[in-house]
Amino acid sequence: MGYIFGYARVSTEDQSLDMQLDAFEKYGVDEVFEEKITGTRKDRPQLERMLDKLREGDKVVVYKLDRISRSTKHLIELSELFESKGVEFVSIRDQIDTSTPMGRFFFRTMASIAELERDIISDRTKAGLEAARARGRNGGRPSATKAKIDRAIKLYDDKYPVPQITEMTGVSKTTLYKYLKQREGAK
């Protein structure tokens, strides 16, 4: 029997890994790789470290499928990598264990369902924003006031660092650069 690796991830620094870590302890995981980073990011150093350590006979355990993958495509790529290395994969909450034929089938089915669910949520969000716009409301951050933008541009011209400008004025870096670009285009 190989080594049992656990991969735990939450999307923000404020969220807790405790529930995942408790499940790993109960399962008997030997080593845990923890990350506090959004699942959509490609660069996940702890995931890469774990993947580099995998050897034939090892097992990768996650609390839920969405903790390890960015998309169905990524999940299937990971499953193919695990298969090629002779590594088993377990998702505790989804009750998937690829050491069995049924587990491999469920794994692929659950990956497809998880992607479908994300797509439905995304479509609902877009529809909600469109409905709000039709009623004259806009989603997203409130717009920066002209006074704040003018102050941010003045601070920029006075050679203040951008992070300090955003902190002092509340104008985001993206907004500041947008108005600076507009000013350059007007000249």
Q: Which residues are catalytic?
A: 11
Alpha-carbon torsion, ordered 58, 81, 52, 115, to 10 deg = -100
Nearest to 94 by CA among 82, 78, 105, 80: 105
Give the bridge partners for 9, in sequence order: 35
Q: Cα angle vertex 19, ends 112, 97, to 5°?
A: 40
- Are 77 and 68 in contact by the 8 Å Cβ rule? The answer is no
